[in-house]
Amino acid sequence: MLDGLGIEVVAQSEFGVTDADETGTTFAENSLIKAQHAVNATGLPAIADDSGIAVDALDGAPGVYSARYADGAGDEANNDKLLAALEGVENRGAAFHCVATFVDPADPEPIVAEGVWRGEILHARQGEGGFGYDPLFLVPECGCSSAELDPEEKNTRSHRGQALRELVALIEQRYAD
């Protein structure tokens, strides 16, 4: 997605950047924390994102704690905990959220973009692809879980794809000169 911008993308691990402490209470806060952490460690512009799933019947949980929902025990445990929390629940609406942030050390104003992907939580895992909550996330317009979508289709629809496309457009707009 960044090819047309003339930006060389290098993983922060190539610079030995450690993981940032995600102390924010929103996806936007954590995304900014992670991007600023990478900028502080490298002195270079950085893009970071934070994402997770918010379930309507759980008042938005697991939200920013999606990856740590089952106390860091991993995807399978997170999915098991979510299924248990929704046992007997009829309304299973949910949304994946992603906030992507670009921080340039030469510019005091970060660029922030957001994507939201609405769906429902299934009663059991479905599909082998993807990661995280993908096997439980029903994409109603496709009639399958996000774990059953091919990667190109998933990137077209997903919260992360939406956020990154918007971020690219905003970067192009800011640096058009």
Catalytic residues: 50
Q: Of 140, 121, 130, 129, which is closest to residue 61 (Cα–Cα)? A: 121
* Residue 88 amino acid letter: G
First-residue to last-residue Cα distance in the chain: 20
Residues 77, 136: Cα–Cα separation, whole Å = 13
Backbone angles phi and psi of 17, in degrees to 5: -75, 130
Residue environment code for 120-157, b if the CB has 16+ CB neighbours within 10 A, otherwise e: bbbeebbbeebebbbbbbbbeeeebbbbbbeeeebeeb
